[in-house]
Amino acid sequence: MTPGSTPAACAALLRRDLTLAWRRRGDIAMPVLYAVIVTTLFPFAIGPEPALLARIAGGVVFVIVLLAILLSLDHLFRGDIDDGSMELLMLAPQPLALLVGMKILAHWITSSLPLIVVAPVLASMLKLPPEAMPVLVIALLLSTPLLCLLGAVLVALTAGSKRSGMLLALMLLPLCVPVVIFAAGALAAAQEGLSWVAPIAWLGAGLAMALVLAPLACAAALRIAMDT
């Protein structure tokens, strides 16, 4: 890659964000620890019956992953705004939407990818049938980046607010309902031996649209927030 080119700048920004996240390894482990604790408590709360746990396993795992992602979402652009890095990104010759997309990718790698890795373990704790595990992983691979992209847009819209955590949760949760419904629906269909392709296709279509539109919306919202 040519130094100063757009691919080189995107790769450098991705490497920078991953390095900063690795220096704060406790922040990466916190969503995973939260997911493990909540999953462990469910059998104690509703009973250890395998049939009951298997029936609710899909919805429980997706809701836990959603809430775990929400824990770290508020800090997506906060550090760059506080230390002045966001102004430098806006002044860079590269498109801001691409640079923001790299930051969202880094956030997904550090916050969601560990959850996807431990999700089969969490689902097995809730007695999810082994034949449904591949559908769980596919649904998470599609739904988690979609949730991160939707959340990034809302984080950019509330970037000018000092206390945006509650506002972010109130705005994001309604948008996440269709994602959770399709993901849990695909898993429920796989458990019943039905076709799960249609819900996965809807998730893929939503992710494709979000990959194109969300970085553009984030860039526009950040410019508005930084100008105010």
Classify the phi-psi angles of 129: left when phi > 0, otherwise alpha if psi is within -120 to 50, otherwise beta.
beta
Question: In angstroms, rounded to a whole number, what is the distance separating the alpha carbons of residues 119 and 130?
Answer: 13
The per-residue pLDDT of the chain, averaged, comes to: 83
Domain count across the chain: 1
Give dist(CA 169, CA 155) in Å, integer. Answer: 10
Q: Rounded distance, CA 100 to CA 80, Å?
A: 11
Please report which confidence band the pLDDT of residue 48 belongs to, taking 50, 70 and 90 as the band edges.
Answer: confident
Q: In this predicted model, what pLDDT tens digit does every residue of 173-202 receive, in sequence order? A: 888 888 888 998 888 888 888 888 999 999
Q: Does an H or E element contain 52, and which?
A: helix 50-73
Q: Percentage of residues in the chain with pLDDT exceeding 70?
A: 94
The per-residue pLDDT for 166 is 66
Mean pLDDT, residues 61-82: 80
Domain interval for residue 153: 6-227
Residue 4 confidence (pLDDT) above 60: no
Q: Is residue 1 assigned to a domain? A: no
Q: Give the mean model confidence (pLDDT) for residues 7-23.
A: 83
pLDDT digits (tens, 9 = 90+) for 91-137: 878 888 888 888 899 889 988 888 899 988 888 888 888 888 899 99
pTM greater than 0.85 (yes/no): yes
User: Does residue 50 belong to any structural domain of this protein?
Assistant: yes
Residue 39 domain-assigned (yes or no): yes
Sort residue 16 into left (φ over 0), alpha (ψ -120 to 50) or beta. alpha
